[in-house]
Amino acid sequence: MKFLKNIRIVLSILFFVPILVFFLDFTGKLPLILHQFLKIQWIPALLSLNFVVIGILLALSILFGRIYCSTICPLGVFQDVIEWKSKFFRKKKKNRFKFSKSHNILRYSLLAATILLFVFGSSFFVILLDPYSTFGRIFSQLFRPLFILANNGLAWGLNAVGNYSLYKVEQIAFIPVAFIIAVIFFFSIAGLAVKNGRLYCNTICPVGTLLGLLSKISVFRIAFEESNCNSCGSCEKNCKSQCINSDTMTVDDSRCVSCFNCLSACKRGGIKYNLRYKKQQISSNQTPIDNSRRTFLLASGAVAGSILMAKANNLNPKKDSILSRKPIMPPGAQNINHFNAHCTGCQLCVTKCPMQVLKPASLEYGLSGITQPHLVFSTHIFCTYDCNICSSVCPTAALQPIAMEQKKLTQIGIAKLRIDMCEVITHETDCGACSEHCPTQAVHMIPYKNGLTKPEVTEDLCIGCGGCESICPVRPYQAIYVEGSEKQAKAKKPEEAKKFNKVIDDFGF
Amino acid sequence: MKRRDFFKSAALAGLAAAFSPKAFGITSTGKSLAVQSEPDMVAVMGGEPAAMLTRALKELGGIGHYVKKGYKVVIKPNIGWDRKPELAANTNPELIGTLVRLCKSAGASEVIVFDHTCHDWIKSYANSGIQAAVTAAGGKMVPANDESYYREVDLPRGVNLKKTKIHQAIIDCDVWFNVPVLKHHGGAKNSISMKNLMGIVWDRGIYHRSDLHQCIADTATYHKSPALNIVDAYRIMKSNGPQGKSESDVVLLKSLIVSPDFVAADTASMKLFSQVQPTNISDVRHIALAEKLKVGTQSIEKLNVKRIKMN
């Protein structure tokens, strides 16, 4: 049965590598179709109510156990890679795991809290604990910048000798909250992977815990073949889930991720992957613990905490109105409730945004919107008119796919002009940078005095792309800025100019 | 200063050309190559971009007049926007491609094309059609999206702007051509050859903060001025500039105005433009301000202007 492990490894590479390169690609050259790989992740499928994928994943789990965890989940495979690579630093090279008890209180509490909080309208735990999104945050916040750094170093060298085959790419913005979350998760997950294999998946990850409940009844499962077993313990020592107890010859199905390492380790066929219901079932000595009280306390504590945090955020007095503006959601977010409930902060749109105007939020959406994307404008950084990439790659349907023509009319915000701060008024000189960058001419120039023109905003036409804000020379607080729309309405279609039909056949000079 | 420079280089180029075998060929067919009779400005109307450019350059003594063997050449079109050629937000790609090809045929060792774009530079380079045209003609598109590509230069004659950071390609080249497109512009009123210089500098914010028109005029005093300003008026944008909203903003004029003189080129272009969209040239303040800084002259009537209608 050793071929099972090889199949598992091949499959995990096939799922992992496309996701990995898709997150790391900073050139935008990879085909966007790769995002389809992300739709087969559990949480994105659940949030987008993708019943086909849910059905397939459910069937796979009921048939084969937690193969999602060992092949499809990028965070799971990432832990296997770390565990595998760590052998270069470890003293004990092989046979290093030992059976350990499951942390039932913790894992069922986290699962319950995640579900409860979500039902009560907070995505806080979903965002923090969805394994795919955690993977996305780690790679976009920690690894991607390193690749960009390397590219820019190489580009600098090549450009210096006149070779422009590589070019410098803007480094991603440093957002402390997103970075710290990525650092904490990376080091704890990597540390646990080296020491305890898949302990994270079996204790913290709500998807792992949920699938564990399913794999207790899966059709195929790992079990001892007592007649062949000589209790050498080799299977237990190779079980990265630490769920095989070779003394009692039992396997904790809820924690087994179907990696099949034990099958390869056993030379005698003493452990097998077989039909559960063929033979008499080995009675499980694990009875579910009643956690309702603890879970309830934990969940209500988290809810109360998040409400308090959100309140505190609102109370914070701000000076300029630009600082207390409503956050600007990416196009296709529809309305703030839909968006906040469905986005898991995986950072895929952030990494795919060619303008890098999308950034992970800190507390702009409150605690339960942490790391969800919002638009942050800075010089030359605004939402491109002819672009709908973010909405087309979103795996969770937090951003609904919108066609290009529709995107050009989607009001993600409205420009607010503070004319008394405007360069034209304060210095009586021409500027017009805002109108220059306005794709719909919602911001247009009207006569002022002495041949000067000043900007004016027609709100119906504004789509909130932020071109005006990004380029307004008035700093630190621009004379024009975009206020986010909590509900993304449809802008009026800009009127075309009058056509000029006369024939000019003279130079005019 | 500029005019004198121009005549000096023109005379030198004429001399060099006179001793080249190619020049003998030309003189033997009877066409004179008299330096003095070369016009200060050539305006062409009625042809396709490539034909009009070739014709204009012929009047000015041919591309070899400006590009010598082994020269590093820079061409600076307007590629500011992620717009297709039909919208006239960017310089005509056929015009740029032809210029690259002419420079290469004159023996240029390399022809570099760039712009500090307003929209995403990768998309602007591609969707303007300019990247494809340049690459096909043997030129090289270089990025301008990072401050490290720019070096600080002094503008001793500048009023508000005493120094600015200019793209190294311009600083290091042997000769460069400024190839703007004629457009309406919400901020600067019109965008022609001097406004196009905002694509060779890094920090544009300071322009908008310290009197846009004066800063544009100040940049035009940069001592390394382009050999020629080649104003693309094949398609012009008459309204909603500089981006434009639709093809209704575009007028097909099939024209080209070429002059080494920034002010003269912009003045002539404004007169052409005003036939479509009447505009007070004094509102495009940087033109008069540049003349005040002796960058060039608005008195086109005093110049030797060659007007050509192709049909």
**Interchain contact B274–A (C-beta under 8 A):** yes
Distance CA B91, CA B13 (A): 28
Q: Which residues of B touch A352 (CB under 8 A)?
A: none
Q: Which residues of B touch A471 (CB under 8 A)?
A: 118, 205, 208
**Interchain contact A318–B (C-beta under 8 A):** no
| Residue A285 counted as domain residue | no
Helix, strand, or coil here: B276?
coil
CB-CB neighbours of A58 under 10 Å: 16
Question: Are the C-beta atoms of residues A127 and A371 closer than 8 Å to each other?
Answer: yes
- Which of A10-19, A130-139, A152-161, A165-174 has the least mean pLDDT? A165-174
pLDDT value for A35: 86
Q: What amino acid is encoded at B2 in this protein?
A: K
**Interchain contact A89–B (C-beta under 8 A):** no
Distance CA B248, CA B88 (A): 11
pLDDT value for A65: 94
Q: Clarify whether residues A224 and A363 are in a common domain.
A: no
Distance CA B42, CA A464 (A): 44
pLDDT value for A273: 92
pLDDT value for B8: 61
Mean pLDDT of A411-430: 95
Q: Select from 3.30.70.1230, 1.10.1060.10, 3.40.190.10, 3.40.50.11440 the CATH code of B40-309.
A: 3.40.50.11440
**Interchain contact B45–A (C-beta under 8 A):** yes
**Tens-digit pLDDT string for chain B (311 aa):** 556 665 666 555 555 544 444 444 444 333 444 445 789 999 999 999 999 999 999 999 999 999 999 999 999 999 999 999 999 999 999 999 999 999 999 999 999 999 999 999 999 999 999 999 999 999 999 999 999 999 999 999 999 999 999 999 999 999 999 999 999 998 899 999 999 999 999 999 999 999 999 999 999 999 999 999 999 999 999 999 899 989 999 999 999 999 999 999 999 999 999 999 999 999 999 999 999 999 999 999 999 999 999 97
Distance CA A469, CA A127 (A): 30
CB contact under 8 A, A427 and B255: no
Query: Residue A389 is inside which H or E element, if any?
Result: helix A389-393
End-to-end Cα distance, chain A: 89
Q: What amino acid is encoded at B22 in this protein?
A: K
Q: Clarify whether residues A124 and A191 are in a common domain.
A: yes
Nearest residue in B to A453, CA atom:
B187
Q: Which residues of B touch A474 (CB under 8 A)?
A: 209
ipTM of the complex model: 0.80
Nearest-neighbour CA in chain A from B98: distance (Å)? 22
Q: DSSP letter string over A496-509?
A: PPPPP-PPP-S---
- Residue A496 in tokens: 């075309």
Of B149, B187, B275, the CB nearest to A436: B187
Distance CA B152, CA B165 (A): 4
Q: Clarify whether residues A145 and A236 are in a common domain.
A: yes
End-to-end Cα distance, chain B: 37
Nearest-neighbour CA in chain A from B233: distance (Å)? 11
CB-CB neighbours of A472 under 10 Å: 30
Put simply, the chain A residues between 146 and 205 with a CB less than 8 A from any chain B CB are 156, 159, 162, 164, 167-168, 170
Q: Which residues of B touch A497 (CB under 8 A)?
A: 238-240, 245-246, 248-249
- Which of A84-88, A178-182, B48-52, B242-246 has the least mean pLDDT? A84-88
Distance CA B171, CA B194 (A): 17
CB-CB neighbours of A229 under 10 Å: 17
Q: Which residues of B touch A388 (CB under 8 A)?
A: none
pLDDT value for A321: 87
pLDDT at A292 over 70: no
Nearest alpha carbon to residue A80 among A236, A194, A205, A242: A194
Q: Is the dihedral of CA B16, B22, B28, B33 positive or negative?
A: negative
Of A430, A497, A500, the CB nearest to B187: A430
Mean pLDDT of A200-218: 94
Of A355, A423, A508, the CB nearest to B272: A508
Length of chain A, in residues: 509
Q: Is the dihedral of CA B284, B285, B288, B289 positive or negative?
A: negative
Question: Are the C-beta atoms of residues B44 and B255 closer than 8 Å to each other?
Answer: yes
pLDDT value for B34: 45
Length of chain B, in residues: 311
Distance CA A256, CA A234 (A): 16
pLDDT at A284 over 90: no
The number of domains in chain A is: 2
CB contact under 8 A, B245 and A441: yes
Nearest-neighbour CA in chain B from A425: distance (Å)? 12
CB pairs under 8 A between A and B: 137
pLDDT value for B311: 78
Q: Clarify whether residues A113 and A186 are in a common domain.
A: yes
Nearest 5°: the CA angle A365, A369, A372 is 100
pLDDT, one tens digit per residue, over A469-486 is 999 999 899 999 999 999
Q: Is the dihedral of CA A402, A404, A410, A412 positive or negative?
A: positive
Question: Are the C-beta atoms of residues A343 and A373 closer than 8 Å to each other?
Answer: yes
| CA B221 to mean position of chain CA atoms | 15
Q: DSSP letter string over B210-251?
A: S-HHHHHHHHTT-SS--SEEEEEEEEEE-SSTTT-SSGGGEE
Mean pLDDT of A212-239: 92
Domain end residue (candidates: A243, A275, A307): A275
Answer with the residue of higher pLDDT: A465 or B18: A465
pLDDT, one tens digit per residue, over A372-397 is 999 999 988 999 999 999 999 999 99
| Residue A357 counted as domain residue | yes
Mutate to test the interface with B, among A430, A440, A452, A501 (most CBs of B within 10 A): A430
β-partners of residue A251 are: A244
pLDDT value for B187: 87
Nearest residue in A to B127, CA atom:
A386
Question: Are the C-beta atoms of residues A244 and A231 closer than 8 Å to each other?
Answer: no
**Interchain contact A433–B (C-beta under 8 A):** yes
| CA A130 to mean position of chain CA atoms | 9
Q: Which residues of A touch B284 (CB under 8 A)?
A: none
Helix, strand, or coil here: A48?
coil
Place of tokens 């041949």: A451
| Residue A489 counted as domain residue | no
| Residue A307 counted as domain residue | no
Residue A349 sits in which domain range? 317-484
Nearest residue in A to B206, CA atom:
A473
| Residue A491 counted as domain residue | no
pLDDT, one tens digit per residue, over A296-329 is 456 556 655 655 555 455 545 557 888 889 999 9
pLDDT value for B191: 97
**Interchain contact A449–B (C-beta under 8 A):** no
For B236, which DSSP code?
Answer: E
CB contact under 8 A, B248 and A498: yes
**Interchain contact A439–B (C-beta under 8 A):** yes
Mutate to test the interface with A, among B83, B119, B131, B182 (most CBs of A within 10 A): B119
Distances (CA, A) of B51 to A296, B45, B46, B108: 80, 10, 10, 21
CB contact under 8 A, B119 and A162: no
Distance CA B42, CA B27 (A): 22
CB contact under 8 A, A473 and B249: no
pLDDT value for B14: 52
pLDDT value for A283: 47
Q: DSSP letter string over A140-190?
A: IIIIHHHHHHHHHHHHHHHHHTT--SS---PPPP--HHHHHHHHHHHHHHH
Of B45, B212, B267, the CB nearest to A430: B212
| CA B144 to mean position of chain CA atoms | 18
**Interchain contact B211–A (C-beta under 8 A):** yes
Q: What amino acid is encoded at A396 in this protein?
A: T
CB contact under 8 A, B213 and A509: no
For A266, which DSSP code?
Answer: -
Put simply, the chain A residues between 11 and 50 with a CB less than 8 A from any chain B CB are 28
Q: What ranges do the domains of chain B cover?
A: 1-37, 40-309
Question: Are the C-beta atoms of residues B127 and B93 closer than 8 Å to each other?
Answer: no
Q: Clarify whether residues A366 and A444 are in a common domain.
A: yes
Nearest residue in B to A28, CA atom:
B122
Mean pLDDT of chain A: 89
pLDDT value for B38: 85
- Residue A474 in tokens: 């008035």
Mutate to test the interface with A, among B146, B198, B284 (most CBs of A within 10 A): B146
Q: Which residues of A touch B140 (CB under 8 A)?
A: 164
| Residue A496 counted as domain residue | no
Mutate to test the interface with A, among B161, B167, B266, B275 (most CBs of A within 10 A): B275
Q: Clarify whether residues A135 and A219 are in a common domain.
A: yes
Helix, strand, or coil here: B251?
strand
| Residue A508 counted as domain residue | no
